[in-house]
Structure formats: structure tokens, C-alpha cells
Amino acid sequence: MTLTKIYGVLGQPIEHSLSPLMHNAAFVATGQNAYFTAFAVADLASAVAGVRALGIAGVSVTLPHKTEVIKYLDWISPEAREIAAVNTIVNRQGQLCGYNTDVAGAINALAKRVNLAGKRVLIIGAGGAARALVYGAVKAGAEVGIVNRTPERGLKLAGEFGAKFLIPSELVEFAPEVLVNTTSQGMTPHVNALPIAEEFLNSSMVVMDIVYNPLKTRLLRAAEKSGAVTVDGLEMFVGQGALQFELWTGGKAPLKVMRETVLEHLLQKY
């Protein structure tokens, strides 16, 4: 009998995650004997030990564990090490290997709307996803500003990647051409939360929200109202998920199936 390979996502909270829905659809579409589930994780060290002990084939890592998880892994890709954030773990015969697919997922989604080279990009947040966006935007040649509720974290992140930490009174002068929310503000169930004042948004901006549940967050609705070009979190979510699938299985991800599965769920829900 061939054992079913188990995959999962580690996070807290995790009830909102559509990773199981997306990856299980991909496994079925490609004939994989595999199953993906969600793990609500408060004790990360014990959770990673469980991945080893149970022989879990791979996991996705989400809020708030993307940075802390690094110290429990055996090998980190050069890019993930430079970013200091991991969102994907591959279990290779007991060796836990960390990667970051958020960078490509996010930058590829933005690149469909705007050439980041020379643009002023404002990143809201300073967590694991923010690290990926700041890293990717700087690499693409953008001038990056960071705003964060906790100044110490924002200053530290800015210093690591050559970005600017901005206080709210400096945002107008910075005049971002691209704005990306990397926080959980607006995520289900807190759908009315807004990471920045609506009055700040304007028609010359490209506005991206990495939150994908709901598909159209309050930020994106406000951005549309202002005339801005919007990028929803689904593009980054599916893009980074497809890269995870390929790292785990070595096969080509069924991108269309993954996107349509998540989109159908979101459209039914909202």
C-alpha cells in the first residue's frame, strides 16, 4: 500500500485559510496521492518537531510564524535567508528545507500592472510578507517606504533592505505610486478594518492587498472608488501556492485549477 503524503499550513489564526482547498484541488487534478490540511499553531517549535516526527511531506507557513520558523529548519534557500522569512518547507528525507515563494508570487502579480523600476512603493506592515515585498521591490529597482504600527520593527526592516521608514505625517510627501498592504487588516472576519485612510488613495496609484479572503477587501473597494488600479490577493496567493506545489511534488502546478477553485469559493461566499 502506498502511503498518502500529508501536507499542511501552519498559522494562527488559520480558520480563514483557503490553502487546503487550493492544494487539495491541485493534488486531485494531477493524480497525487496526497492530502493538505490546516494546523492552528501557537507552539511553533513543537509543531515543527511534529512535522519531523510524523514525516509530513511539506508545509506552508503563514502569519505569524514566517520569520521565527527559520531557527527550526535544517537548510534555507539563499533568497529566504536574505529575506529572513520562510513560507514553504519541504521535508527531504527528514531534512527540513525552507523557501520563500511570496516574493515571486507578489512581484509577478504587481508586474502585470506596473513596472516597479524607479517607482515609489509604500509597504504597509513589517512582518514576514512585508519582508518579501520589500526585498522584491528593492530588487526590482523601486524606492521603497515602509509604514508600520510598531516603529521599531519598521525601522529595523527598512535598515536591512535600504528602504525608508515613514511616519504617517511623511506619507503625503513620499507620494507612493504603488501601495501594498501586507497586514491582516481587512481579513475575514475583520472585513471592515482599513490599513490606511481612504483619503490617502488616489487615481494615480496601483493598490495591492495581499489579503485574499475576502477577495475584494475594504482597502481595494476604497482604492477602486478613488480610481486607482487594484491588484487583489488572489493573484499572489495562487502564484506563491503554485510555486509551493512544484517544490513539494517536482511537477507542474495546475495553475488554472488552483485559481478557479479558490475564486469559485470566494465568489460563492461573498
**What grid cell was written down for 111?**
508586474
**Burial (CB count within 10 angstroms: exposed 0-12, middle 13-18, buried 19+), residue 118:** exposed
Options 5, 66, 119, 216, the catalytic residue: 66
Whole-number Å distance between alpha carbons of 104 and 108: 6
**For the purposes of burial, counting CB atoms within 10 Å of the CB of 226, is it exposed (0-12), middle (13-18) or buried (19 or more)?**
middle
| 8-state DSSP, 2 | P
Give the whole-angstrom CA distance, residue 130 versus residue 186: 16
Preceding omega of 214 cis (within 30 degrees of 0): yes
Residue 66 bears catalytic tag: yes
Cα separation values, 223 from 66, 68, 112, 170, 215, Å: 28, 33, 18, 20, 14
Cell representation of residue 25: 484541488
Extended beta strands in 28-119, E state: 34-40, 58-61, 75-76, 88-92, 95-99
Contact (CB, 8 A) for 200 and 228: no
**E strand or H helix at 224:** helix 218-226
Per-residue exposure over 197-222, b if at least 16 CB sit within 10 Å of its own CB, e if not: eeeebeeebbbbbbbbbbbbbbbbeb
For residue 194, give the nearest of 219, 213, 171 by alpha carbon.
219
Catalytic machinery residues: 66
